[in-house]
Amino acid sequence: MSSFNIAVIKGDGIGPEIVTEAEKVLNAVGKKYGHEFNYTDILMGGCSIDKYGVPLTDEALAIANASDAVLLGAVGGKVGESKWYELPANLRPEAGLLAIRKGMGLFCNLRPAKLFPQLRQACPLKESIIGDKGFDFVVVRELTGGVYFGPRKTEVVDGIRKATDTMPYDENEIKRIVKSAFEIAMKRGKKLASVDKANVLDTSRLWRQIVSEVAADYPEVTVENVLVDNCAMQLVKNPLQFDVIVTENMFGDILTDEASEVTGSIGMLSSASLGSTYHGDKQLGLYEPSHGSAPDIAGKNLANPLATILSAAMMLKYSFNLEKEAQAIEDAVNKVLDDGYRTGDIILASEDASKFKKVGTKEMGDAVAANI
């Protein structure tokens, strides 16, 4: 029996509920395929602030780094309403997220955007745009550099309040994320769109140069440079043109929200964040749904656990090399969708709800686990 150590961050809001369902599904996989998944809970975000006064302790980070992978629900509360947001920015829940990304060296963030055939109705784009096939692409977002981590200051200059953020990138930071994207493109449709703002930014001009240098090692991959504003437009105009998109941290933040919205089902989208740390043949990574902590529906058994369950599938595939087990989770999710199981978020107001089996968080987890 092989065994895997998973650090679990349930986090805030709906985090604990959705992670519990992902663990349920992992346990079903363990039972069927003979693996043991050991979970160690650590705190991050608001729950860590409440207990320790900081969003991520050094001890929690050390446990994350010592694990084979981290499974994360969601962190944070309602900005403006939660007491956590009266704290300085570096002590708020989201700071824990940035600290764990940096502290685990997770520079490569994969955010798949895929139209589930069963949920086509939820896609806000016209039939003429999404076609018969729908779309299926992945955004590779640089996650530990750029303006998120560059030098910054807030000051008063000659009586005028002034704030400055900077966006530094060195060639090594660019090269490693671009290489990761080419590797992923090689395993997919061999088509890479590199997104930048090379008509304005120096960092983007360096980015573009590195892309063309790395491209020489991947002659099979078709590369296109796309300006970020144009990319934002193309995502709604013709998302089918994309296979793999690679971009810097903040562009990636913005484009991935847009990408998730065009699928119409953010409750379904998983993500993986990887670095270059291996424990044996296991690649350390952090896996989380693309959506947030949804504090308004927390604790009500309403949240959709599928994005977290699919993130657990990414964990099996990328960190543990358990391809067939990952596929078993994806197949089980497809099966429950085919069977008509839906949480409230994936039933449209315009649809006839009686066609579906409307279920809560727990029942959705049970249904997926039963199909493993």
Contact 178, 246 (CB under 8 A): yes
Task: Output b/e per residue, 334-370; b: 16+ Cβ within 10 A.
Answer: eebbeeebbbebbbeeeeeeeebeebbbebbbbbbbe
Instruction: Report, in Å, the least distance between residue 195 CB and Mg ion.
Output: 15
CB atoms within 10 A of CB 53: 10
Residue 253 designated active-site:
yes
Instruction: Report, in Å, the least distance between residue 94 CB and ligand IPM.
Output: 4
Catalytic residue among 68, 148, 243, 318: 148
**Contact between 248 and ligand IPM per CB under 6 A:** no
Query: What angle in degrees, to the nearest 10, is found between the helix axes of 15-33 and 306-318?
Result: 50
**Contact between 94 and ligand IPM per CB under 6 A:** yes
How much of the chain is in helix, strand and coil states, percent to nearest 5? 45, 25, 30
Contact 156, 149 (CB under 8 A): no
- Judged by CB, which is closer to ligand IPM: 94, or 325? 94
Q: Which stretch binds Mg ion (CB under 5 A): 22-30, 248-256, 270-278, 324-332?
A: 248-256
Contact 129, 92 (CB under 8 A): no
How is residue 206 written in tokens? 């360096």
Catalytic residue among 58, 165, 257, 339: 257
How is residue 174 written in tokens? 């660019």
- Judged by CB, which is closer to Mg ion: 206, or 250? 250
**Contact between 12 and ligand IPM per CB under 6 A:** no
How is residue 49 written in tokens? 């602030």
Which among ligand IPM, Mg ion, none contacts residue 108 (Cβ within 5 to 8 A by kind)?
Answer: none
Please work out the total of residues on this chain that contact Mg ion, with binding judged by CB under 5 A.
1
Per this entry, what is the length of the chain? 372
**Contact between 253 and ligand IPM per CB under 6 A:** yes
How is residue 190 written in tokens? 């061999």
Contact 37, 26 (CB under 8 A): yes
Which among ligand IPM, Mg ion, none contacts residue 94 (Cβ within 5 to 8 A by kind)?
Answer: ligand IPM
**Contact between 253 and Mg ion per CB under 5 A:** yes
Question: CB burial class (10 A; 0-12, 13-18, 19+) of residue 331?
Answer: middle
Instruction: Report, in Å, the least distance between residue 231 CB and ligand IPM.
Output: 16
Instruction: Report, in Å, the least distance between residue 97 CB and ligand IPM.
Output: 5
**Contact between 142 and Mg ion per CB under 5 A:** no
Residue 197 designated active-site:
yes
Contact 20, 11 (CB under 8 A): no
Residue 257 designated active-site:
yes
Q: Say how far apart CA 94 and CA 357 lie, in whole Å.
A: 35
Q: Give the pairing of strands 270-279 and 282-289.
A: antiparallel
Catalytic residue among 12, 68, 243, 253: 253
- Judged by CB, which is closer to ligand IPM: 30, or 73? 73
**Contact between 97 and ligand IPM per CB under 6 A:** yes
Which among ligand IPM, Mg ion, none contacts residue 74 (Cβ within 5 to 8 A by kind)?
Answer: none
- Judged by CB, which is closer to ligand IPM: 115, or 286? 286
**Contact between 243 and Mg ion per CB under 5 A:** no
Catalytic residue among 50, 229, 296, 338: 229
Residues that bind ligand IPM (CB under 6 A): 94, 97, 253
Active site residues: 148, 197, 229, 253, 257
Residues that bind Mg ion (CB under 5 A): 253
